Amino acid sequence: MQLKIFVDSLIPGDEALGAPKFSAVAWPLLQESRDLIAHVSVVIKEFRNSATGCVISESNESIESNEAMAKSFSSFFKEKHNVLYVEFREIVMGLYFSSPAVLVAMGEEEMPLFPRGQSLPTFNTDMLESVYSRGEIWRRVNGG
């Protein structure tokens, strides 16, 4: 349960945009990364035992919205266990920002790129006028 609180403090969502918190959309998927969970849980314990972690977690009742804890935990994690932090970041961000609910809240499409496709206007060659008018710039060589 601790891990859930910590991840939600890092990714609490955004009420104004209607973006849910991490655990509401990606918690079950994160359970698949068993090794990661085990390792991060150890880091959380370490953080709680650290001076900052102790103070912050004891001084707040509503731990889930604790901005200060999110910031100190991520700094602690990044500094003490950088390789694991990068892997953790990659996985939780990946799961969160692939969630349809989150993408829709951000104003993104809910459908995958394919076969939806995207349109762009045809290229206007007028912009190349100055490039044309400068003339050939390739270097001629003997024998082609």
Partner 1 sequence: MEYDVIVVGSGAGGSAAAWRLTKLGLRVACFERGDWQTPDNYPSTGLDWEIKKRKAFSPNPSIRNMKSDYTIDTSESDIDIANFNGVGGATVLFSGHFPRFHPSDFCTYTLDGVGVDWPITYSDLEPYFNVNDKVMRVSGLAGDPAYPEMKGFLPPIPIGEYGEMIAEGFNRLGWHWWPSYSAISTGSRSDSPCLNLGPCNTGCPQGAKSSTDVTYLPDAMRSGLEVVTHSVVVKVEVTSAGKAKGIWVLESTGNRRFIASKVVVLACNAIGTARLLLASKSDDQPQGAANSSGLVGKNLMLHPLGYAEGLFDRAIDLDKGPQGCCIYSHEFYETDEERNFKRGYTLHVLRGGGVLETALAGLDRREVHWGSSLVKDVVAMHRRRGSIAVICEDLPETSNQVLLDESRIDNDGMPVVIVKYRLGGNSKAMMSHGLTQARRVLKVAALKKVMAFGPVREAGWHILGTARMGNDPATSVVNMRGETHDVDGLFIADGSVFPTSSGVNPASTIQAVALYIADQIYETHFGVLTDGNAIENFC
The token pair at 14 is 């955004």
Q: Which is nearer to partner 1, 83 or 113 (CB)?
A: 113
Q: Which is nearer to partner 1, 1 or 134 (CB)?
A: 134
Q: How many helices (H) and strands (E) does the chain have?
A: 9, 0
Cα–Cα distance between 87 and 34 in angstroms, integer?
A: 13
> Nearest distance from residue 58's CB to partner 1, in Å?
19
4 in Cβ contact with 23 (< 8 Å): yes
Measured CA to CA in angstroms, residue 9 lies from 5, 21, 69, 105, 109 at distances of: 6, 9, 7, 19, 26
Q: Which is nearer to partner 1, 34 or 116 (CB)?
A: 116
> Nearest distance from residue 139's CB to partner 1, in Å?
4
Which residues of the shown chain bind partner 1 in the complex (CB under 8 A)?
9-14, 17, 19, 65, 67, 70-71, 74, 89-90, 93-95, 97-100, 102-103, 105-108, 110, 112-125, 127-128, 130-132, 134-144
Q: Which is nearer to partner 1, 61 or 135 (CB)?
A: 135
> Nearest distance from residue 70's CB to partner 1, in Å?
4
> Nearest distance from residue 99's CB to partner 1, in Å?
8
Cα–Cα distance between 43 and 47 in angstroms, integer?
A: 6
